[in-house]
Amino acid sequence: MGSLELKSIRKAYGGHEVLKGIDLEVKDGEFVIFVGPSGCGKSTLLRTIAGLEDATSGSVQIDGEEVGHVAPAKRGIAMVFQSYALYPHLTVKDNMGLGLKQAGAPKAEIEERIAKAAGMLSLEPYLARRPAELSGGQRQRVAIGRAIVREPKLFLFDEPLSNLDAALRVNTRLEIARLHRSLKATMIYVTHDQVEAMTLADKIVVLNAGQIEQVGSPMELYNRPANLFVAGFIGSPQMNFIDGAKLGDGAAKTIGIRPEHIGLSRDGGEWKGKVIHVEHLGADTIVYLETETVGTLTVRLFGEHRYAADDVAYATPVIGSMHRFDTDGRVVNSGP
Amino acid sequence: MKSRETTMDASALKRPRRWHILVFLLPALAVYTAVMILPLIETLRQSFYNTVDGQYAFVGLSNFKVLFGDPRWAADFWNALRNNFVFFLIHMAVQNPIGIALAAMLSIPKLRFSAFYRTAIFLPTLLSFVIVGFIWKLILSPIWGVAPYLMDLVGMKWLFAPWLGRPDSALIAVSLISVWQYVGIPMMLIYAALLNIPDEVIEAAELDGVTGWSQFWKIKLPLILPAIGIVSILTFVGNFNAFDLIYTVQGALAGPDGSTDILGTLLYRTFFGFQLQLGDRSMGATIAAIMFLIILAGVSLYLFVIQRRMRRYQF
Amino acid sequence: MSKARTSIVRTGAVHAALIAYTLVALFPVFLTIANSFKSRNAIFREPLAIPTPETFSLIGYETVLKQGDFLGYFQNSLVVTVVSIALVLLFGAMAAFALSEYRFRGNTLMGLYLALGIMIPIRLGTVAILQGMVAANLVNTLTALILVYTAQGLPLAVFILSEFMRTVSDDLKNAGRIDGLSEYAIFFRLVLPLVRPAMATVAVFTMIPIWNDLWFPLILAPAETTKTVTLGSQIFIGQFVTNWNAVLSALSLAIFPVLVLYVIFSRQLIRGITAGAVK
Ligand SMILES: Nc1ncnc2c1ncn2[C@@H]1O[C@H](COP(=O)(O)OP(=O)(O)O)[C@@H](O)[C@H]1O
Ligand SMILES: [Mg+2]
């Protein structure tokens, strides 16, 4: 149990439409990530699922049951907020137990569930503390613990890692992945960070300006982006876009090649160019090349390479790695 | 040669006198000290002096002995103190709960017209005691008959009485007028505290099923306790400033029959005299000294006991 | 069950309560102003009615304007309030800057000393204040009132402004120092403009008690030439208690300026109170 179905969800603030008809199905136990640029409506969609906002139209079903008029607390969901949103006046333990207490659960059961969640998240030493006495990472774990204790059908996360520093973010990411495996719960997770999306998700939903651009597994989105937006959004560094006419391809308005799908050589190749900048990252080397025929290209080489600015180099695309898009930005026929 | 260099270094390291700090502080310090602190101290000092045999002299605690020992003085003083206390209690029991309730309603998200309500309810706070006092005197006056007329509309005319004119109800009536005027202050301070609670905490409570009343009691109220503490201490101190309203509505004698006399009006009558009574500087200073001690006690209690115990939360 | 239904009922109850209290708050003011434009008979016959062409009368206002020098009182109040606010803001901001910007011996003590006046009413020192004003020959001058109100307003001003000044970025001030600005220039040119919103809050908090005060005008400046509006209307109404038209008109005249200012500035005022008062 723990499936979700959204049917043509629309949400407008005043005259401004923020969600423009969202249809989505989430299966039990799936880890689904909403990703998209800031302001595209991810939080609004999540809050509509939670019942914190009412959709202007459309239906939300959890486990096949319409929940449009059900209070948030009765929807069987739990939510982890970006700012943690812990109750500052309650101890860690009371923070985690408040929801159950409010629902009238027996004391022994509350204790037991808190103990279990605290065990999972190594929060036992902090149970008697108040949020002000915890570090950012600990607060975030309490917020997650508060969600676990409720044993919800659906976990909702709104950018839970964006207030943490880089190292902690990776750790907590692993923790959330582990949690998903051990709880086998359905999770919906909002982020604007595509790395988080690629590493955690079973299924990614790419949103843009209140609409779904594409739904698919991380590799589907990487290998077969349905349109220019997804192609540009997924993958780092960003995909190269080349005017189709420059390559003599009449059918495609734009052609995309990922930086890692381009080979580079000093001796010869498809497109001749001059190196304008090189970033040495150790594992990768990113070369920016000003070519004569196709404009500026970003090339990602694995390992260390001794290119330097002003070197002359030849770029060659890996065969079959090109993505072709028509004038509306939709894919014409995909690469491999 | 070498040693000279080091001494020069040392003097260069020593900071030049930072005169600008003094310049920044001086005007405020001068006015504040000259017009507020020194007179306050001087007033306290004069409570130990009186005129003995036409000679102004140090008399120790004898002014205080008169105030508490002389039956006439003591009766006036205790009467005023008791009235002050009642005045304060009525504010705590009526003004602050109403203020909190109004703030709680105004802070409901997306409530329409809330700006209008807020503006309208705060208006009386801006009016002077003089205006407020006279308006209510007119409204409650049996001659004009507005109050009985309005009460008749809801079938409660039999309850009407010239409240301001009766010794047993005048103090309550005056207190309620003051409550009417000042309810805007607790309302605004609590409202600000409520707005300070992050939306996400309230939403987390919604998800935990803590809604409506229980949300107010379990989440919001604990978080606005510091603001309620501030409101209480402001109410306490303001209580001793409440001269204007009573002077306007009931006159310097704080009638009827001294039933609305508070320390402020007593101080005024004692110091400046009224009608047949002559002004008495020393006894005025003595009453001011007692008020000072009471306020000091109340404020210390708040600062060192109540505020220490109260947690202030960071979000 | 329906979330929408219960919330409509609840919202309705909230609006009912708020409307009720708004009526309680506004009714007395409305009653006063409405009746000030009526003839004496109409005031008593139908106190709740708004003036109609038959009942309209300006007799009260004529009496007031003939008898009392309200324009003069108004001018006194304005001078006292404006000058006091200006001094409180200037001196208060300077002291707040010194306390929040520089570390020097006695800094904390100085802060506490200045904060003392937030809790202790200045009225308790009236006995000695009056003696001092007599000695300085300032009784029955507006200067006496201005001095008292400046001292009265400073503690809260210093307190609020130094809280705000702590939030001004150190980098900005240091950039100014590197550009060769003196400490005075840093205060006047960099810091003051940035704390303007807080200054507005302080101005409001300072203004209300000054404009409405009865105690000090009564004690320090009761002369006809130095009466403030508050004292003036108090005395005028005391003399005319039985002339209802005059009393109501005098009250309305005293309310008008406050009302007009409030309608214009209520938004800023309320924002100032909610933003600046309790952090
Ligand atoms: N309460 C609101 N009132 C009006 N507009 C809003 C409100 N909440 C969000 N929006 C608008 O909706 C859009 C989507 O917001 P949001 O869902 O928070 O985006 P994000 O994808 O960054 O989470 C934004 O343009 C935002 O300005
Ligand atoms: Mg968001």
Residue B310: pLDDT above 80?
Answer: no
In a domain, B45, yes or no: yes
- Domain extent, residue C230, equals 63-278
Q: Report ipTM for this prediction.
A: 0.86
Instruction: Examine the domain organization and report whether B253 and B172 are in the same domain.
Output: yes
H or E element at residue A240: strand A240-243
pLDDT score, position A148: 93
CA A52 – ligand 1 centroid, Å: 13
Mean of per-residue pLDDT scores for chain A: 92
Q: DSSP for A35-71, please give it.
A: E-STTSSHHHHHHHHHTSS--SEEEEEETTEE-TTS-
Strand A323-325 relative to strand A284-291, pairing: unpaired
Residue nearest to atom 5 of ligand 1 (CA): A13
Pocket-forming residues, ligand 1, beta carbon under 6 Å: A 13, 18, 36, 38-44
User: Quick one: closest CA in B to A158, which residue?
Assistant: B200
For B27-56, what is the mean pLDDT?
91
Instruction: Examine the domain organization and report whether B133 and B110 are in the same domain.
Output: yes
- Domain extent, residue B47, equals 18-62
Residue nearest to atom 24 of ligand 1 (CA): A39
Residues of A in contact with C1 (CB under 8 A): 69
Residue B194: pLDDT above 60?
Answer: yes
- Contact flag C18-B37 (C-beta cutoff 8 Å): no
- Name the residue with tokens 């105030």: B67
pLDDT score, position C6: 64
Instruction: Examine the domain organization and report whether B46 and B182 are in the same domain.
Output: no
Q: What is the CA radius of gyration of chain C?
A: 24
CA A38 – ligand 2 centroid, Å: 7
Q: How far is C116 from chain B (nearest CA, A)?
A: 9
Residue B156: pLDDT above 80?
Answer: no
Q: Which domain-ending residue is among C57, C75, C95?
A: C57
CB B170, CB B164: distance < 8 Å: yes
Give dist(CA A9, CA A42) in Å, integer: 12
For C183-197, what is the mean pLDDT?
88
Interface of A with C (CB under 8 A): 51, 69-71
Instruction: Examine the domain organization and report whether C96 and C30 are in the same domain.
Output: no
- Considering only CA atoms, which of A141, A301, A327 is closest in space to residue A249? A327
Cis peptide before B142 (omega within 30 of 0): no
Percentage, residues of chain C above pLDDT 90: 32
Residue range A30-70, pLDDT digits in tens: 999 999 999 999 999 999 999 998 899 999 999 999 998 88
3-state secondary structure B143-205: CCCHHHHHHHHCCCHHHCCCHHHCCCCHHHHHHHHHHHHHCHHHHHHHHHHHHHCCHHHHHHH
Instruction: Examine the domain organization and report whether C49 and C86 are in the same domain.
Output: no
pLDDT score, position B314: 64
- The CATH number linked to C197 is 1.10.3720.10
Instruction: Examine the domain organization and report whether C189 and C147 are in the same domain.
Output: yes
Which residue in C29, C43, C214 is closest to B244 by CB distance? C214
Q: How far is B42 from chain C (nearest CA, A)?
A: 6
Which of A301-310, B215-224, C232-241 shows the lowest mean pLDDT across its residues?
Answer: C232-241
Domain range list for chain A: 4-230, 241-325
Top CATH class, A4-230? alpha beta
Interface contacts (A, C; CB < 8 Å): 7
Instruction: Examine the domain organization and report whether B37 and B143 are in the same domain.
Output: no
Residue B9: pLDDT above 50?
Answer: no
In a domain, B1, yes or no: no
Residues 6+ apart with CB under 8 A from A244: A250, A251, A252, A253, A254, A255, A324
In a domain, B265, yes or no: yes
Phi and psi at B198, nearest 5°, equal: -65, 145
Amino acid occupying residue A99: G
- The CATH number linked to B161 is 1.10.3720.10
CA B47 – ligand 1 centroid, Å: 65
CA A130 – ligand 2 centroid, Å: 26
- Contact flag B313-A50 (C-beta cutoff 8 Å): no
| pLDDT band, residue B7 (cuts 50/70/90) | very low
Give dist(CA B102, CA B194) in Å, integer: 11
Which of B89-98, B174-183, C246-255 shows the lowest mean pLDDT across its residues?
Answer: C246-255
Instruction: Examine the domain organization and report whether C70 and C6 are in the same domain.
Output: no
Instruction: Examine the domain organization and report whether C85 and C196 are in the same domain.
Output: yes
Report the domain count for chain B. Answer: 2
- Considering only CA atoms, which of C243, C221, C245 is closest in space to residue C229? C221
Residue A136: pLDDT above 70?
Answer: yes
Give the ligand at the shortest distance from the Cα of A39.
Answer: 1
Instruction: Examine the domain organization and report whether B108 and B24 are in the same domain.
Output: no
DSSP C277: S
Residues 6+ apart with CB under 8 A from A141: A121, A122, A123, A172, A175
Residue range A19-32, pLDDT digits in tens: 999 999 999 999 99
Give dist(CA A96, CA B314) in Å, integer: 19
CB B129, CB C214: distance < 8 Å: yes
In a domain, B9, yes or no: no
Q: Partners for A (CB, 8 Å, 3+ pairs)?
A: B, C
Q: Which domain-ending residue is among B41, B62, B83?
A: B62
Percentage, residues of chain B above pLDDT 90: 38
Report the domain count for chain C. Answer: 2
Strand A284-291 relative to strand A271-280, pairing: antiparallel
Interface contacts (B, C; CB < 8 Å): 253
pLDDT score, position A254: 92
Residues of C in contact with A70 (CB under 8 A): 3
Instruction: Examine the domain organization and report whether B38 and B119 are in the same domain.
Output: no
Residue A261: pLDDT above 90?
Answer: yes
Instruction: Examine the domain organization and report whether B272 and B289 are in the same domain.
Output: yes
Instruction: Examine the domain organization and report whether B28 and B96 are in the same domain.
Output: no
In a domain, B50, yes or no: yes
| pLDDT band, residue B312 (cuts 50/70/90) | low
User: Quick one: closest CA in B to A94, which residue?
Assistant: B218
pLDDT score, position B238: 87
- Scanning B183-242 for CB atoms below 8 A from A yields 198, 200-201, 203-211, 214, 218-219, 222-223
pTM for the whole thing?
0.84
Residue to substitute from A79, A144, A158, interface B, most B β-carbons within 10 A:
A79
- CATH superfamily ID and name for A241-325: Nucleic acid-binding proteins (2.40.50.140)
Instruction: Examine the domain organization and report whether C159 and C274 are in the same domain.
Output: yes
Residues of B in contact with C49 (CB under 8 A): none
H or E element at residue C35: helix C3-36
Instruction: Examine the domain organization and report whether B245 and B295 are in the same domain.
Output: yes
Given its phi and psi angles, is residue C207 left (phi above 0), alpha (psi -120 to 50 degrees) or beta? alpha
Residues 6+ apart with CB under 8 A from A6: A22, A23, A24, A25, A45, A49, A58, A59, A60, A61
Instruction: Examine the domain organization and report whether B56 and B202 are in the same domain.
Output: no
For A204-225, what is the mean pLDDT?
95
* A77-80, strands of its sheet edge to edge: A77-80, A154-158, A186-191, A31-35, A203-208, A211-216
Residues of C in contact with B291 (CB under 8 A): 124
Q: Partners for B (CB, 8 Å, 3+ pairs)?
A: A, C
Residue range C199-225, pLDDT digits in tens: 877 887 788 889 888 899 999 999 989
Instruction: Examine the domain organization and report whether B140 and B39 are in the same domain.
Output: no
